[in-house]
Amino acid sequence: MAKKWKELSTGQQTAVLTLASVQLALAATAWTDLARRPADQVNGSKAKWAAVIGINFIGPVLYFAKGRRKA
């Protein structure tokens, strides 16, 4: 059974908050880039990439690696 927040050590709580912050920052940066990037500079549809970015960690990484066309 999963531990409750209060059952986690301070180090575990810090790790969870750090990883969550990194995930949110990656996703926000990717969604902002996608919104500002013209459709002709995106590989595939912008709607598809918007959904993919929502996948934890791997989504934003995939978008930055494969979703943007090189200038």
**Of the candidates 57, 55, 56, 53, which has an alpha carbon nearest to the alpha carbon of residue 68?**
53
Look at residue 33 and tell me if it is in a domain.
yes
Among 56, 52, 54, 55, smallest CA distance to 66 is for 52
Range of the domain at 34: 26-71
Give Cβ neighbours of residue 31 (< 8 Å, ≥ 6 apart).
Answer: 50, 53
pLDDT digits (tens, 9 = 90+) for 24-57: 999 999 999 999 999 999 999 999 999 999 999 9
Report if residue 69 sits inside a domain: yes
Whole-prediction pTM value? 0.86
In a domain, 68, yes or no: yes
Asked if residue 58 is part of any domain, the answer here is: yes
Residue 11 maps to a domain:
no
Number of folded domains that form the chain: 1
The proportion of the chain whose per-residue pLDDT surpasses 90, expressed as a percent, equals 94
50 located within any domain: yes
